[in-house]
């Protein structure tokens, strides 16, 4: 059994997959997401700060949803987030079309590899901590 601490409330729960968050925090977050999505649909010209304020969701979370391509700003909207590589304004995802194209032609980028390694190390450290905690 894989038990972890919820990243939001810290409670221990049975981890399945995806973000390590307990079921109640997950559904709360999903409600926030749906409300945010609706707000953006109803207010296509709102900027990120307005969305954050009106939906009571942090800028960080909105950006994360956009990066995950769950939230998409309309084409007419002057706002968006920056491409992680060149800084061009994009409406969704992590990279602009040009950089996406470049990445596809350069699949084993050193940057991505290094990042994955670090992530795995952090996770296994967390796991050891949890096991010790539960005994
Ligand atoms: Zn929780
Ligand atoms: Zn770019």
Of the ligands numbered here, which is closest to the C-alpha atom of 25?
1
Q: What percent of the chain lies above the pLDDT cut of 90?
A: 46
Number of domains, the chain: 1
pTM for the model: 0.61
Could you tell me if 13 and 22 are in contact, meaning their C-beta atoms sit under 8 angstroms apart? yes
Which residues make up the environment of ion ligand 2, defined by Cβ < 5 Å?
83, 85-86, 88, 96, 99
pLDDT 10s digits, 56-88: 999 999 999 988 989 887 776 766 788 999 999
Of the ligands numbered here, which is closest to the C-alpha atom of 98?
2
* Residue 79: Cβ within 10 Å count: 15
pLDDT 10s digits, 30-55: 999 999 999 988 988 888 889 999 99
Residue 66 tokens read as 């956009």
Of the ligands numbered here, which is closest to the C-alpha atom of 12?
1
Measured in angstroms, how far is the CA atom of residue 73 from the centroid of ligand 1? 29
Cα 33 to chain centroid distance, Å, stands at 11
Of the ligands numbered here, which is closest to the C-alpha atom of 27?
1
Collapsing DSSP to helix, strand or coil, 89 comes out as strand
Could you tell me if 133 and 10 are in contact, meaning their C-beta atoms sit under 8 angstroms apart? no
**Residue 94 burial (C-beta neighbours within 10 Å; 0-12, 13-18, 19+):** middle
Looking at residue 44, its pLDDT comes to 83
Of the ligands numbered here, which is closest to the C-alpha atom of 95?
2
Domain of 126 in residue numbering reads as 3-134
């Amino acid at each position: 059994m894989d038990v972890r601490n919820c990243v939001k409330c810290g409670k221990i729960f049975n981890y399945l997959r995806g973000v390590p968050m307990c079921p109640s925090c997950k559904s709360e977050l999903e409600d926030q997401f749906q409300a945010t999505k609706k707000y953006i649909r109803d207010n296509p010209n709102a900027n990120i700060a307005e969305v954050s304020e009106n939906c009571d969701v942090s800028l960080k979370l909105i950006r994360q949803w956009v990066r995950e391509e769950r939230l998409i700003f309309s084409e007419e909207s002057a706002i968006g987030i920056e491409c992680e590589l060149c800084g061009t304004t994009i409406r969704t995802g992590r990279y602009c079309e040009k950089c996406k194209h470049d990445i596809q032609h350069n699949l084993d980028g050193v940057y991505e590899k290094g990042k994955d390694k670090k992530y795995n190390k952090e996770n296994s450290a967390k796991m050891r901590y949890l096991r010790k905690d539960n005994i």
